Amino acid sequence: MASNPQRRITLGPDGVVCKEAELSGDITFGSRCIVHPGARIVAEGGPIVMGDGNLIKEGATIINKKREDSQQPVLIIGNGNVFDIKSYCSASIVGNNNTFEPCCRVNEYVTVTEDCVIGAGCTLSGREELPRGTVVYGSEHSRCVRPKSSSTQTSQQLTMLAKVLPNYHKLVKS
């Protein structure tokens, strides 16, 4: 884990953040957040505030980039999001219950609302707000809207990982 003299980490109840994750800047995790080893969370352009029950897997990157207009907005990430292996997110806002599949890329100025899925390898780079339930998929980054999703599986993953990860990794203390 990279050391950063300006680093301030706040960890909510029942959260598990592995020390092998790279954390820098002002980051607040809600309850039951799980951060795998090798995940990268960088608050260089302003703080990152995460809600409850987020899962950040190995190789995932979440970054609040420095802006050209010198503003330092807070990157707010809602509840129940999954940032899968090697996903990249510098979105301006992330709502609740979204899935960022492996190797997807969501750049700044994108707002991901609720119940969205950014498919494996898909890139979102323009200024846009995804409507609730949007699924971005395929090599053409096609889109459709799906009915409301269920987050039961994510909740089960969080419970299992909160028990298993401390057995094999050193953890960050708030």
Tell me, yes or no, whether 71 lies in a domain. Answer: yes
> How many folded domains does the chain comprise?
1
Which CATH number goes with the domain that contains 102? 2.160.10.10
Burial classification of residue 165, based on how many CB atoms lie within 10 Å of its CB (0-12 exposed, 13-18 middle, 19 or more buried) = middle
Tell me, yes or no, whether 173 lies in a domain. Answer: no
- Give pLDDT, residue 68: 74
CA 38/CA 124 separation, integer angstroms: 23
- Give pLDDT, residue 157: 72
Domain range spanning residue 84? 8-168
Tell me the whole-structure pTM to 2 decimals: 0.87
Tell me, yes or no, whether 39 lies in a domain. Answer: yes
- pLDDT tens sequence across 11-32: 999 999 999 999 999 999 999 9
The distance from CA 99 to its chain's CA centroid, rounded to whole angstroms, is: 9
pLDDT beneath 70, residues of the chain: 1-5, 69-71, 148-154, 174
Tell me, yes or no, whether 99 lies in a domain. Answer: yes
Tell me, yes or no, whether 2 lies in a domain. Answer: no
Tell me, yes or no, whether 3 lies in a domain. Answer: no
Tell me, yes or no, whether 54 lies in a domain. Answer: yes
